[in-house]
Amino acid sequence: MKMACHKCAEKAVIALQHGELCKNHFLSYFEEKVFTTITKHDLLNRKDTIGIAASGGKDSLTVLYLTKKFLKKHQFPSRFFALVVDEGIAGYREHTLKDLEMFCKKQQIELKKVSFREAWGATLDEAHPKINKDTKKKPCTICGVWRRSLLNRHAREAGATKLVTGHNLDDEAQAILMNMFKANVGLAASLGPKSGIKEREGFVPRVKPLYFCTEKETRLYAFLKGFTVNFAECPNAREGFRIAIRDFLNDFEGRYKGTKQSIVNSFLEILPLLKEKARQDTTHPQACERCGEPARQTVCQACALQEVLHAP
Amino acid sequence: MNITVIHERKRATEHLSFAGKSVFDLLQQINVSPEAVIVVRNNDVLTENEILNDNDEIQLLSVISGG
């Protein structure tokens, strides 16, 4: 039996909590949801210069395309560019980089590339065994710390006042549960459509236009728009706490539609209180004494990891 | 009926004997969460209650990011 769109009776491509949608109504619904998120949560303004963190996956291609479309639709004069970090993960990043380069060329979007090797002196594949030996840190931990540092530094150096990321509803629901299960209230305060707790010198605020879009909706949008997204799986991403939470959430969502949305909506109710609590903590230094990037300790985590890497 | 399933994530093709009727039945049979895939037949996106036919070739696009 074919499901029909509840708006026009055309063949449906997705069944959402509020009804089925055909291709055209789904594309409109998705774009409107992203544009409303940007406007309602004041993610971008006319004076912004915008860096867009990109990888070549479905989320970043979608957010690149829709940020460009939003700016055009609202006649924002903002300069924007894509920023990609090559971590040096063999068999993975080279594929997504190729997709991203093709996409940016087609869409006429400026693409800036930075790499772990240039910044830290080694690829992730080279750095992980050495750092892990001394600290037991997993590749995803090292990658996350170094990526965030490079994205912030290079976005700021290129004049960006906002850094757009492709985080979606699934990412956020997973992060909320992970922080809850690990009692990381301080980290939870940094979540939300607009990351960060208070303005800090040198920190480019990160914003998430796909905040209310599920991963499934985003993949469907990318497919229906004909974006070339070749699935490539990071060899480091097969295990871990996040994957257990992801599978648990997908199982629950299958049985109780709207679960992820409810988790995020509930969290947004208490987020102002978490941010207020975090703002009262003034014990952290403002900048790393080595690199000058925003830091919670006197030396930022990125520099601390680099020190371990290059220790004799 | 016979169904061919192309798994994007596993980069594998599976030929299976299918006793059910719908996309939902197929996903249950192969133990794949409907939240984790987009189901495509001849470049056409299928919802979970769509009926499958003998010798259909079904593509499962991974919703989950690889990073």
Decide if B53 is inside a domain: yes
pLDDT at residue A222 in the model: 95
Which alpha helices (DSSP H) does chain A contain, by range? 23-40, 58-73, 93-107, 116-120, 124-135, 139-157, 169-181, 185-188, 215-224, 241-255, 259-279, 301-310
- In this prediction, residue A239 has a pLDDT band, given cuts at 50, 70 and 90, of low
pLDDT of residue A255: 87
**Is pLDDT of A283 > 70?**
no
**According to CATH, what is the number of the domain A34-230+239-282?**
3.40.50.620
CB contact A1 to B (< 8 Å) = yes
pLDDT at A238: 61
- What local confidence, expressed as pLDDT, does residue B11 receive? 81
pLDDT surpassing 90 at residue A282: no
Q: How many domains, in total, are found in chain B?
A: 1
Question: Does B64 touch chain A if contact means CB atoms closer than 8 Å?
Answer: yes
Mean pLDDT for the stretch of residues A136-149: 92
Domain boundaries, chain A: 34-230+239-282
* pLDDT at residue A220 is higher than 70: yes
CATH number, domain with residue B39: 3.10.20.30
- Interface check for A255 against chain B (CB to CB < 8 A): the answer is no
Contact A311, A134 (CB under 8 A): yes
Q: What is the pLDDT of residue A285?
A: 60
Q: Is the pLDDT of residue A207 over 90?
A: yes
Residues in B touching A23 (Cβ below 8 Å): 45
* ipTM, interface predicted TM-score of the complex: 0.94
Q: Which residues of B touch A256 (CB under 8 A)?
A: none
d(CA A37, CA A211): 7
Element (H, E) at B28: helix B23-29
C-beta atoms of B47 and A237 within 8 A: no
| Domain-embedded: residue B67 | no
What's the gap in Å between the CA of B9 and the closest CA on chain A? 7
Per-residue pLDDT, A92: 82
Residues 6 or more apart whose Cβ sits within 8 Å of residue A41: A193, A194, A207, A211
Predicted confidence band at A242 (pLDDT cuts at 50, 70, 90)? confident
Q: Would you say how long chain B is, in residues? A: 67
| Higher-scoring residue by pLDDT: B9, A67 | A67
For the cut 80, the answer to whether the pLDDT of residue A11 exceeds it is: yes
State how far residue A13 is from chain B, nearest Cα, in angstroms: 6
Average pLDDT rounded to a whole number, residues A28-53: 96
pLDDT, one tens digit per residue, over A89-140 is: 988 888 888 889 999 999 999 999 999 999 999 999 999 999 998 889 989 8
Across the interface, of A20, A58, A250, the residue whose CB is closest to B65 is A58
Average model confidence (pLDDT) for chain B?
91
The shortest CB-CB distance from B8 to any of A220, A231, A254 is to: A231
Q: Tell me which of A36-40, A42-46, A60-64, B5-9 is least confident.
A: B5-9
- Amino acid A42: pLDDT: 94
Query: Other C-beta atoms within 10 Å of A193: how many?
Result: 22
Contact across the interface for B47 and A231, Cβ inside 8 Å: no
Q: Percent of chain B at pLDDT above 70?
A: 97
To the nearest whole Å, the CA of A111 is away from the closest chain B CA by 20
B10 reaches A (C-beta below 8 A) = no
B45 to chain A, minimum CA–CA distance in Å?
6
Which one is predicted more confidently, A99 or A268? Answer: A268
Residue B64 clears pLDDT 90, i.e. is over it: no
**Percent of chain B topping pLDDT 90:** 70
Contact A232 B61 (CB under 8 A): no
Task: Confirm or reject contact between A216 and chain B (CB < 8 A).
Answer: yes
Q: Do B66 and A13 touch (CB under 8 A)?
A: no
Top residue of B24, B32, B35, B42 to mutate, by most chain A CBs within 10 Å, is B35
Chain B residues whose beta carbon lies within 8 Å of the beta carbon of residue A59: 65
Range of the domain at B27: 2-62
Given a cut of 90, is residue A164 above it in pLDDT?
Answer: yes
Identify the weakest region by mean pLDDT among A91-95, A171-175, A267-271, B24-28. Answer: A91-95
Dihedral of CA A293/A62/A233/A177: which sign?
positive
Percent of chain A with pLDDT over 70: 97
Would you tell me the crossing angle of helices A93-107 and A58-73 to the nearest 10 degrees?
20
